[in-house]
Structure 1
Amino acid sequence: MSLWLTRIIPDQRSREARRDGTNAVDLHHRLMALFPDHTVETAARRNLGVLFRTEPAADGGHQILLQSGVQPDLTRLPPGYGRGATKSLAPLLAAMREGLAVRYRIAANPIRKPGRTTRELYSLSAVVPLRGAAADDWWTRQADGAGLELTALRSEPLDAARGTRRSDQHHIKHDRVLFEGTARITDPELLRTRLTAGIGKGKAYGCGLLSLAPHRNDV
């Protein structure tokens, strides 16, 4: 299994970089353009294993974490866009074992899809974003289903991933919550699979990238 992690630090003097930092659809297009024979279709993103997340950077701007099954070509970034570096995640994948303590971070889109009767009774939309304890419960279930037993959990709401899809002018909005803490691996093979595939909805627009690192207090 090949997996790559790329860190891109956009230069805030670049108009294109600033625009991508506020538009999840434009950022999706930008990152897909780093791969050969790219398209904007969901199947291409899935086949390439592309997942990403934006995070605050030390300079007050943002950084982009890009995970992919194919090494991206950073020379395809526009001139002046920023700097980046790629490393293999093979050592992390190889080190995974049952009982290993890890730190995790994920910006996810916790949602619930009520049944028709419930929607009509409470005037709910087809997709209900989860917050607070409900979001934490959602992540706990997702982690368990990904081969992780949570030992600590912190969460905070993030700005929604927004943008307008070029093909049909459909407005995209995915509510996001940042989950981070510590866990123990219960199923290494399952975890490798979920790490590669991503977790939850909105994976094309900055949700679902699970980051792991060994926890120093592992005994």
Structure 2
Amino acid sequence: MTPRPAAIFTTVRSALTLSPPEQTVCDDVNRLHLLVLSGFANQTLDTAEPAIPRPAPVLYAARRGTPQPDRSRRLTAAPPEQILVQAPLHPNWKPLLGAGRILKANVFPVEHHVTAGDIIDIQMIANPTMRDTPTRKRISLSAPDEAAHWLHRYLTRSGLETSPHHIDPGERVCMTGTRTRTGDRITAHYREMTARSRVLDPELLVHALAQGVGQAKAYGCGLLRIHQVR
């Protein structure tokens, strides 16, 4: 099937400012995940990697301070200060505002008209991984060139043409948390990645904007932010 030459992406985004105590609490990525979902209480949500077509999940990205090295010289994430949340549903942040957990909540519509041939700049917090053949477990890609190749592959699947020298993989940063029910430790890695691409298939790009890219979406990875270059 020949792709349409143009497509429209619409969604709702929220820019949240966390209170200082909530920043400390949400240094745990699971607590941050629960904070985001609390804005959609009693609504049908899914932040899992979609195996089949399903409604768009809640995606979010955290703005954090400068990561700092730990004793092993591993970069660790600073507490989140602000969050950009994207969902097809209208959120309700009033309970969090009333409790003083968030200081500001700016909710606004987003609409992107994308056409084949458009040049776009891309920003995303990503979790580049590969599946280990013997164990079938996903492992984080530690080498910058491997991470850049990972992003290139996903952008290609998203209907974009990207030159490798237009990809910045960013630094690999560790974030941690604890699962609520089991108490198991969570460890995930992210990179703040950027790229410049040319749109080949607008429909594929709109799908990627809605569904997100890669893994660890529950922990703030996968939200694509685009800016059309004029």
TM-score range, shorter chain: 0.7 to 0.9
- What SS does structure 1 have at the residue aligned with 2:25? helix
For 2:130, the equivalent position in structure 1 comes to: 112
More helix by proportion, 1 or 2? 1
> Which one of 91, 96, 102 corresponds to residue 120 of structure 2?
102
Change (3 A) 1:48 1:134: closer
The 5-angstrom pairing of residues 188-199 of structure 1 reads 188-199=202-213
> Which whole-Å deviations, capped at 9, do the CAs of 1:47-67 have from their partners, x for residues lacking one?
56201111147xx97211111
- What SS does structure 2 have at the residue aligned with 1:96? strand
Shift of 1:127: 2.7
> Are 1:167 and 2:181 counterparts?
yes
**Structure 2 length normalisation: TM-score?**
0.78
- Separation in 2 of the partners of 1:191 and 1:41? 20
For 2:86, the equivalent position in structure 1 comes to: 67
> Are 1:6 and 2:14 counterparts?
yes
> Which whole-Å deviations, capped at 9, do the CAs of 1:56-104 have from their partners, x for residues lacking one?
47xx972111111111112131432210211111x21xx1111111111
For 1:76, the equivalent position in structure 2 comes to: 95
Change (3 A) 1:64 1:42: closer
For 1:144, the equivalent position in structure 2 comes to: 156
List alignment gaps of at least 5 residues for structure 2.
Answer: 1-8, 66-78
State whether residues 53 and 65 of structure 1, in contact with CA within 8 Å, keep that contact through their aligned partners in structure 2.
Answer: yes
The residue identity in structure 2 corresponding to 1:76 is: P
For 2:107, the equivalent position in structure 1 comes to: 86
**Structure 1 length normalisation: TM-score?**
0.82
> Which one of 4, 18, 34 corresponds to residue 24 of structure 2?
18
Percent identical = 25
State whether residues 45 and 57 of structure 2, in contact with CA within 8 Å, keep that contact through their aligned partners in structure 1.
Answer: no
- Separation in 1 of the partners of 2:114 and 2:36? 28
Shift of 1:115: 1.3
For 1:30, the equivalent position in structure 2 comes to: 35
More strand by proportion, 1 or 2? 2
Change (3 A) 1:126 1:194: same
- Separation in 1 of the partners of 2:80 and 2:139? 30
Tell me how many residue pairs correspond in the alignment.
201
List alignment gaps of at least 5 residues for structure 1.
Answer: 120-124
